[in-house]
Structure 1
Amino acid sequence: MLETLGTYAESPFDAPQFLQLTPDVYLVAWDPPHAVNAAPRLEELGSAQFSAMASVRLALLDGRSRIIWALAPKDKSRLNLKLTAGTIGSGAELTADFSQSVSAVDPFALTNGLTQNACASLVTTILNTWAGMFKLARSRSFVGFATKLLQSVNDAPSVADCVASVSGTYLLETFLNSECAEISSAILIGDAGVKRLDGDIFNESYNNGRNRLFLGTVDLAQPPARSHLVLSGPWGLAIRRLEAEGAARSLGTWWASNARKLPEVRDYLITRLGGRTPTARAAVRDLQLAEPMPARRYGALGETAAFCAVETAISVDSGVLVGGWMRDPGKSIEGLDVLTVETEPVPLELHAFDGVLPETQGGYPIKKFVAFAQTGGALRHHIQPRLELRLASGERTSLVPPPQPSDAAESRANALSIIPPRHATDALISGCLAQPLADLQDNFRKQVGGPTEILIGTQTQNPVVSIVIPLYKIYEFMKPQLAAFAADRWLAENAEIIFVLDSPEQATHVEDLLIGFHLLYGLPIRMIVMEQNGGYALACNAGASKANGRYLAMVNSDVVPLDSGWLEQLCACLMMDEQVGAAGAKLLYADNAIQHAGLKFIQDEKGRWFNHHYFKGFPRHFPQASTSREVPGVTGACLVLSRSDFEEAGGYTTDFIIGDYEDSDLCLKLRSSNKKIYYLGDVELYHFERVSISKNGDYTRGVASQYNRWLQQFRWEQEIMDVMSSIGARDGMAI
């Protein structure tokens, strides 16, 4: 099917003709005296060779066939060609002499007398196959030929508009006939050469099925001037003349004035443009924020009515995390699907738990649910992924969640609060939360940015050890901590002090404090300021990356030494035995009760492994807690190790959320390299435990701790069992 046929020239090919397409590619056109039903052949009777050759067989209106060969001779010598049309005795010979002028191919002659289907086949063969085979996409002569070929097929094409652009990607729009449902190829041909439209196209029924709305994108260095859009499919060929007046219009400007704001068009734009460039991602984000879709629920609350609401739908790189609630006393809801642009709807496996509405909403019992749809990256840039409710009646109805945050930290916070902590079972974490939380944490890490450094005082040259102290909103222990450091002669002479500020909005205040403490105690200080809050592991790794010491002392900001010599003893433990990967100290509460005397792993009645401290809550001088020994691990509140071991282990693992389990994970990584972990019972420091992390709402109100515990067990369960069966049994300390 062709929408319009052009005017034919009079130039039959009863005798085969040798014609020039481009400087290096030639055509042979021949109309045998009969229909050709078998594959035609072209042979070179001499020694000439071709770098490429192809043919197409086309139907003529008079019932015969036209055969066109395209060939690229390796050298332009004399060609002696034998043509065979598949029937015995049906053949011809043709001599091509390159020393004489070769006629240029006339596109109007090629299409003269062809059927509509044959015209479509010729255009698609030349543009889809030969342009690539013979490397013609950038040839000016080929583009000129192809443009005339399109004119010979349709001399009055309809218009396609270039409606907007974003970061070098141009958006094309046109209408098609209703039968043009399947599009096999979409090609733009013009000043930029032959360009296939990038990615998937949009082609949906429009105007109550009377026609179809087509959208496509193409990446170009310049606006697409003097171009044609060529669409083909089983239905035939559609040719459009491109109008580029809107090429400079922004995506947001076009969308604001566009009358065709279908949800499917919105989905297409976000999916196709969001992954292109940072500018394109910002454009589709702004589009969604400027005109969010109204949230849509299903049903009405009542004694017998069905109701469903999706409150949270967070798009990540691997899929969509969905949370909501429903009431379905009549069992009329069959299921819930996530809608994507590229695939069929993705059914959700709902993890449900009981809930009750507030009295103001009727006090009805409800089912809360959470689910994760594995949609790949199809919806990663959507802040309102659409869903569809399947009803037992066979009907389907659309659901739209409220807009979700585009900021990675806010999205992560929403994901952490989607399930009450008491319902965060290992099965639910593994089957539903683990992948989206991993994606969100990865996105969060990417947006944290790089740290900056501020030097206070004359820095220690060639320090033995670098003390890395992460800071987050709590600064009341800095003065006693630095006072204790200054009173320790070995530390003052051999250590450098690196504070890593993980609440950068307070950088000026903290810098002023540190300058004052430097003037008071005389200790040089390095201050590393994170670009934004990244959590414990990222802050510690940033500080370690700037360290100059042979050893690293990872010390919390709420840890204060009791006496001098603590750091020298911990470093000496590493120096005396190269098999020791990390060393830790006894940590005490303010009331002198033990907070930490080595880290171990304990298992609850459900088989879940947790971190626990030996002798927690026992008196300071409890004899067994004062014994130095090998332990499964030590807390990151005071952990000393060599910088080379830290770097070889990859530092603190950064996919734990907020700040928990990184220290035990590091100890397990060191153990996997055949290193031992030691606890020194005669080295004592105060630890005002978990003061900073209590300021982080994401941690305290969600399921971050359960997720981190699950993640450690998922990675290290066998190693945990092994170390507890060896060291735990050997030291006999079950407390």
Structure 2
Amino acid sequence: MSAAQSAILSASAEGHRGRIEAVEIGTRFLLVSGWVAGPQGGAPGVAIALDLPDGSTRPITRFLRRKDLAQRGIATEPCGFLLDLPRPEGDAEAIALTLRAGEAPLLSQRIAELAPRHFRPRGHLDHVSPERLAGWVFDPAQWHGPEEEALLELVVDGTERITLPLNATRPDLPFSGAAAGRRLGFELGLQEVARLVHAAGLERTLLEGEHEYALLAGGQRIGLLQGSSARRGRIIPRGTRPAEAPAPAPVQTAPGKPEPDGFVDWHGYSKALGGWFFGGWVRGETLKGVETCRAVARFEDAAIEVEAPVSGYPRPDVESIGIGYIAFVPSASGDPGLLQGLELSLEAERKISPSLGTGRMKEAELLALVRTLLGAETRKPRTPLLKVLAQPSYQGEDTLAKLPVPVHLEVDAVLAAPGAGLVLQGWCLDPNRAIAAIRLRARGFLSAPLAERWIATDRPDIRDAFADRYTLDHARHGYLAYVEASTLESGEMHLEIELESGETGFKPLPAPGGGGAAAIRKLLGGIQLAPDEVVDRCDRVLGPPVVALNRQRLATAGRPSVVEVGTLPERPRCSIIIPLYGRIDYLMYQCALLSEHGLAADELVYVLDDPPKKQALMDLAQSAYRRFGIPMKLVLLPENRGYAPANNAGLAECRGEYICYLNSDVMPQEPRWLDLLIGALEEDATLGITGGFLTFEDGTIQHAGMTFKRLPQLGNFPYAMHPGKGRKRAPSRGLKRAEAVTGACMVLRRDLAAELGGFDTDYVIGDFEDADLCLRIRAKGLDCAVHEDAVLWHLERQSQGTPGNFWRHNLTLINGWTFARRWGHCFPAASADTTVLRLA
């Protein structure tokens, strides 16, 4: 295997993999590029860094979206990186770089193996005129030095030079990740241009007319920009109408490169109208009479393909060879990167290139220019493009009452689920079925129709309130709607309600409410799903925001406090982790039974997941210690987190060689229970986890190992089943392999538990965490087993208190959905027919 091949590692650092792809060497810096992908091709889930031979570490904190990684099936989220760092002393090619994910190295590679090349600055000259100079340069010499290489100059006609300052950040550039907020752009107005030209002893006329312009960074040429006669008209400032100009000369193209079919002279995004406007000219007469055509707008980070309204208009400067055009491309995204080109399908596909100096216009200037060129103020909106311009714009008011038909819509709550989007709850009454689509608009964002991710809910109060005005045959006028958006800028949001007749009304939205467990209960509390609805509603509406809300609440959780009662063993054999919620009195009963045989070699770790009971638990623990002499550690959480996070908080405080996860309502019958479970692991290296044999109070079986079965009435997800549950116990068979064991009593090595990160916290509150842990252990080639001689009583869920509202059932469905997405391939459905739900 070659050195390059050996540099690509897979399935390391919790499923991360990555590669250093290229190194560019500057006078005083190195520019390193590559990628790191997390599990299942997601974004890195741990800290990523580059280690240098001198022992220093450079963190990689920003990742770029890479289309090539998505096309190759490597990553679906931003995983590319670009990092500049000081050049080490000596031969740079001889050193090795180490890419690290968390504490684990992903790869180590010598620079010489990457065929390093000399760094050349990147940049672009966006605009040149006596009133404005604009563009950008990426050259780490600007902050690494030397000073002479950091000099940026505009060269006119190959001889005259004007020194330019960098005065603007450019977060739109992929290089901004390497620049860490440093200035990459220059945006100079009339006064700044006049001052710079005067300082160079030149005339401002050099910035207009027939001249050749180039950028130099440290003496290296970046780009070339030619004047009007060579490039179809002079560069025009944003927001102005092109003046008459001489007929353009033929475009100078590289040998073998096809000549463009036209040019984009200006473009910009309208948040009010929800799309991009493009203006310029296209060759020939093919645009005459065309009102819509298929269009593809290609940007650096996205390609938008739609049926676009278009309109031609006279362009005296190109009248001998073409016609002016304006095209509108609807899009929810207002920031897809730099424009690469536009394609219009007329008689054939027309490829239209950005002209030199084209830039994005501000919305006010953009719409004023479009309306002026089309004469929109004096013409009736008969064409699709004029109809777009005639659409009402949102002014911050509720305009539903002004629509020609009755439409009632209220938004009772908006829940923000960071990384997933928003959830809206309220009610909607459309007695004439006049609504064509409801969309959410925020800053630079337009959602898909809400009907695509909508659950109708019962609201008999709405039916009763409107019964004297409309004939209503049901009460499902409430709704829960999910707006998918991985990123959504904060600020004013509103709904756009479009009618079948074309009219549009607006509805302001309240500010998003708080998150936490209360938000999850609110989201799930009023929903009842039929069996055939479970999968679709979990996929499209409930699953993503619930998981995101849970991640948010855990990310903001506070640190626990730790209290030791009595003297704990210095080097415990096993740490027994017991979460407490509700019935904290079970601590006393457990300690009483455990004291009969002692825990001299082990430590007892209680995790309180019920903060209001903090003082009561400390008093109870002291009392139990005085009575039974068993020392214990109390891990006191500042907020309720749920089963998995509580156990993980206990794991972080444990010192034992083994970990025992034990429920507070599980009581030992057999004194050797823990010795048997640990002994099985010590004797058999193929075992990853062992579980106890649990019975009800009457001695019938509660747990003797778990299997899995798909339950059609619950989404057809695979659920953990307990074979023999409720039956009389048969003679013991000792250690028995099982598909999985319950988290009510399971033992594994602490290093394995730490390697796996404990229980997966994406299972909200509690459900499926133990099954998931067992399957992750089996995926490592280790087995699960139950020891039928390690017998304990299990009071089963009495520790959680009385059942909650219906939201808890829905939460089980969400956790089942999460489990099925990860492990469903291990449990094929009994029937290949996925369109028919079969209920037993």
> TM-score scaled to structure 2, two decimals?
0.51
The structural deviation recorded for 1:522 is: 0.5
Q: 2-side partners of 1:688 and 1:235: how far apart?
A: 67
Question: In structure 2, what residue type is equivalent to 1:615?
Answer: G
Look up the match of 2:485: 375
Moved more, 408-417 or 467-476: 408-417
For each residue in 1:157-192, what CA deviation from the matched residue of structure 2 results, as whole angstroms up to 9, or x when unmatched? Answer: xxxxxxxxxxxxxxxxxxxxxxx99799xxxxxxxx
Look up the match of 1:396: 504
Structure 1 counterpart of 2:428, from 302, 317, 326: 326
Indicate the SS of the match to 1:311: strand
The structural deviation recorded for 1:312 is: 3.4
Question: In structure 1, what residue type is equivalent to 2:550?
Answer: Q
Moved more, 105-114 or 652-661: 105-114
Q: 2-side partners of 1:494 and 1:712: how far apart?
A: 36
Does 2:179 correspond to 1:69? no
Distance 1:643 1:50, change over 3 A: closer
Q: 2-side partners of 1:110 and 1:237: how far apart?
A: 35
1:8-157 aligned at under 5 Å gives the runs 54-55=153-154, 69-70=161-162
Look up the match of 2:89: none
Mapped contact 2:767–2:812 kept (Cα < 8 A) = yes
Considering fraction of residues, name the structure with more helix: 1
Distance 1:479 1:182, change over 3 A: same
For each residue in 1:36-65, what CA deviation from the matched residue of structure 2 results, as whole angstroms up to 9, or x when unmatched? Answer: xxxxxxxxxxxxx997674477xxxxxxx9
Structure 2 counterpart of 1:652, from 759, 772, 776: 759
Structure 2 counterpart of 1:420, from 521, 528, 532: 528
Mapped contact 2:197–2:204 kept (Cα < 8 A) = no
Q: 2-side partners of 1:593 and 1:362: how far apart?
A: 56
Look up the match of 1:271: none
Q: 2-side partners of 1:236 and 1:642: how far apart?
A: 61
The structural deviation recorded for 1:616 is: 1.5
Indicate the SS of the match to 1:334: strand
Mapped contact 1:313–1:323 kept (Cα < 8 A) = yes
Distance 1:512 1:700, change over 3 A: farther
Q: 2-side partners of 1:542 and 1:536: how far apart?
A: 10
Question: In structure 1, what residue type is equivalent to 2:810?
Answer: V
Look up the match of 2:58: none
Residue-pair matches, total: 480
1:107-256 aligned at under 5 Å gives the runs none
Look up the match of 2:738: 631
Distance 1:121 1:323, change over 3 A: farther
Q: 1-side partners of 2:737 and 2:480: how far apart?
A: 43
Indicate the SS of the match to 2:485: coil
Structure 1 counterpart of 2:517, from 379, 401, 409: 409
The structural deviation recorded for 1:555 is: 0.4
Q: 1-side partners of 2:771 and 2:198: how far apart?
A: 77
> TM-score scaled to structure 1, two decimals?
0.58
The structural deviation recorded for 1:586 is: 2.0
Indicate the SS of the match to 1:709: helix
For each residue in 1:539-579, what CA deviation from the matched residue of structure 2 results, as whole angstroms up to 9, or x when unmatched? Answer: 11111121111111100111111231111111111111111
Look up the match of 1:313: 414
For each residue in 1:421-475, what CA deviation from the matched residue of structure 2 results, as whole angstroms up to 9, or x when unmatched? Answer: 5476112111222222222121111111222211111111311111100111221
Question: In structure 1, what residue type is equivalent to 2:483?
Answer: A
Question: In structure 2, what residue type is equivalent to 1:426?
Answer: V
Q: What percentage of residue pairs aligned between the two structures are identical?
A: 25
Does 2:357 correspond to 1:357? no
Does 2:633 correspond to 1:523? no
Moved more, 313-322 or 551-560: 313-322
The structural deviation recorded for 1:313 is: 2.6
The structural deviation recorded for 1:351 is: 3.1
The structural deviation recorded for 1:233 is: 7.6
For each residue in 1:248-299, what CA deviation from the matched residue of structure 2 results, as whole angstroms up to 9, or x when unmatched? Answer: xxxxxxxxxxxxxxx999xxxxxxxxxxxxxxxxxxxxxxxxxxx99x6956
- Note the aligned Cα RMSD (angstroms): 4.2
Structure 1 counterpart of 2:723, from 587, 591, 614: 614
Q: 2-side partners of 1:234 and 1:351: how far apart?
A: 36
Distance 1:438 1:615, change over 3 A: same
Q: 2-side partners of 1:614 and 1:703: how far apart?
A: 25
Structure 2 counterpart of 1:494, from 601, 604, 609: 601
Question: In structure 1, what residue type is equivalent to 2:582?
Answer: K
Mapped contact 2:709–2:720 kept (Cα < 8 A) = yes
The structural deviation recorded for 1:408 is: 3.0
Distance 1:666 1:470, change over 3 A: same
Does 2:343 correspond to 1:343? no
The structural deviation recorded for 1:593 is: 3.0
Indicate the SS of the match to 1:603: strand
Mapped contact 2:701–2:726 kept (Cα < 8 A) = yes
For each residue in 1:216-238, what CA deviation from the matched residue of structure 2 results, as whole angstroms up to 9, or x when unmatched? Answer: xxxxxxxxxxxxxxxx9869999
Bigger Rg, structure 1 or 2: 1
1:531-546 aligned at under 5 Å gives the runs 531-546=638-653
Mapped contact 1:55–1:67 kept (Cα < 8 A) = no
For each residue in 1:69-125, what CA deviation from the matched residue of structure 2 results, as whole angstroms up to 9, or x when unmatched? Answer: 2269xxxxxxxxxxxxxxxxxxxxxxxxxxxxxxx978668899868x969999xx9
1:567-646 aligned at under 5 Å gives the runs 567-605=674-712, 607-619=716-728, 621-623=729-731, 628-646=735-753
Q: 2-side partners of 1:236 and 1:415: how far apart?
A: 37
Question: In structure 2, what residue type is equivalent to 1:69?
Answer: R
Question: In structure 1, what residue type is equivalent to 2:606?
Answer: F
Indicate the SS of the match to 2:600: helix
Moved more, 643-652 or 633-642: 643-652
Mapped contact 1:699–1:705 kept (Cα < 8 A) = no
Look up the match of 1:455: 564
Structure 2 residue runs without a partner (length 5+): 1-147, 165-193, 221-265, 271-358, 366-392, 831-840
Indicate the SS of the match to 1:425: helix
